[in-house]
Amino acid sequence: MRKSILSFIIIIFIVILVAAIIIVVARPWFLSNNKSNFITSGPFVRGLSIALIKPTFTAAAYHASFYKFYFVHPTIPLHARKNITSDLNLLSSPVTNLLTRSSSASTIVYLTKHMRTSLPKSNTHVLTDEDVDNGGIFFVNGSNKYDILILGHQEYVTQQEYDNLKRFVANGGTMILMDGNVFYAEVKYDRNTHTITLVKGHGWAFNGKSAWRSVGERWAQETSQWIGSNYLCFSCNVTFANNRFQFKHHEEQYLTNPNDLILMNYNASIANKDSKPTKILVATYTLNYKKGKVIVLGIYSDDIIANNKFSRYFDSLLLRYTKI
């Protein structure tokens, strides 16, 4: 009887020992292979590292400067070869942390709290355009410091910021664009004076001595290749047959890359005075670029960021399309 009990105990001990060995050996494999497209909770799953990028350069451009210049010189046609040498001081503006409706103030404030509540195991950080321009989204070895970047109305960016964001995605990162009208104009940033100055885009180019009419969207073709869409319009009559979030036309992106994977088509049309409305493809979509991906809402989400239906939809995108 005693031998039977002793044998039973030995068997149980061996089973427990083998199970422990299996767990120790298999754990690294589990961790390296448990990177599905769903955000889950569990003892072996790490939290996401997320950075919200405040569009501080765009805020500066809208702050009593660039748009005063645009309004002072509105009638010069795009093909005109006329150099403007007056009011050039308006093409530079100080950079601050003050955001407005034109620079995604609602989105940044809301998501800062929302992400920490909906994804409590993740680390959420708030950066600025200056940080991205300075390479703050990378480690010293060049690898990505964050899993996800969330941008707002990044209408004005530097060449370095544009390149860094593109590199982040190419490295394997996920970049989410909340608002339309992104990467529309190039500015340069002076770290000593903390000011931005227009370089090219939004219909103008500026070399520091004179300004002249130029392209609308600064990197239109390149942006189409890795972002998958381009800026639609502001002063036009756009309607949406599929509008479950009840938003109004503001500033949208229209799809220009055949590799875009459409997640929600808003069935947009542009009304013309002398003809029938023209269909235009405005949608929420995802696009793979090298090792990473972009997720583009396609609409101006800042207008509806606190809408319950939209908030749930945004969370579902995180759950479905971001890596852990």
Amino acid at 257: N
DSSP code at position 144: B
Q: What is the 3-state secondary structure (H, E, C) of 187-210?
A: EEEECCCCEEEEEEECCEEECCCC
d(CA 282, CA 298): 6
For residue 7, what are the domain limits?
1-32
Q: Does residue 121 sit in the same domain as residue 21?
A: no
Residues in the chain: 324
- Asked whether residue 40 is assigned to any structural domain, the reply reads no
Local confidence pLDDT in tens for the 324 residues of the chain: 555 655 655 666 565 655 555 554 444 444 334 433 333 333 333 588 999 999 999 999 998 789 999 999 887 776 777 899 999 999 999 998 877 777 777 888 889 888 888 788 889 999 999 999 999 999 999 999 999 999 999 999 999 999 999 999 999 999 999 999 999 999 999 999 999 999 999 999 999 999 999 999 999 999 999 999 999 998 899 999 999 999 999 999 999 999 999 999 999 999 877 778 899 999 999 999 999 999 999 999 999 998 999 999 999 998 887 654
Q: Does residue 202 sit in the same domain as residue 60?
A: yes
63: burial class by Cβ within 10 Å (0-12, 13-18, 19+)?
Answer: middle
- Asked whether residue 43 is assigned to any structural domain, the reply reads no
Q: Which of 303, 179, 305 is nearest to 253 (CA)?
A: 179
Q: How far is CA 21 from the centre of its chain?
A: 44
- Asked whether residue 41 is assigned to any structural domain, the reply reads no
Number of structural domains in the chain: 2
Q: Does residue 133 sit in the same domain as residue 225?
A: yes
- Asked whether residue 101 is assigned to any structural domain, the reply reads yes
Model confidence, pTM: 0.84
Q: Does residue 80 sit in the same domain as residue 158?
A: yes
Q: Does residue 14 sit in the same domain as residue 112?
A: no
- For the chain, the maximum distance between any two Cα atoms, rounded to a whole number of angstroms, is 106
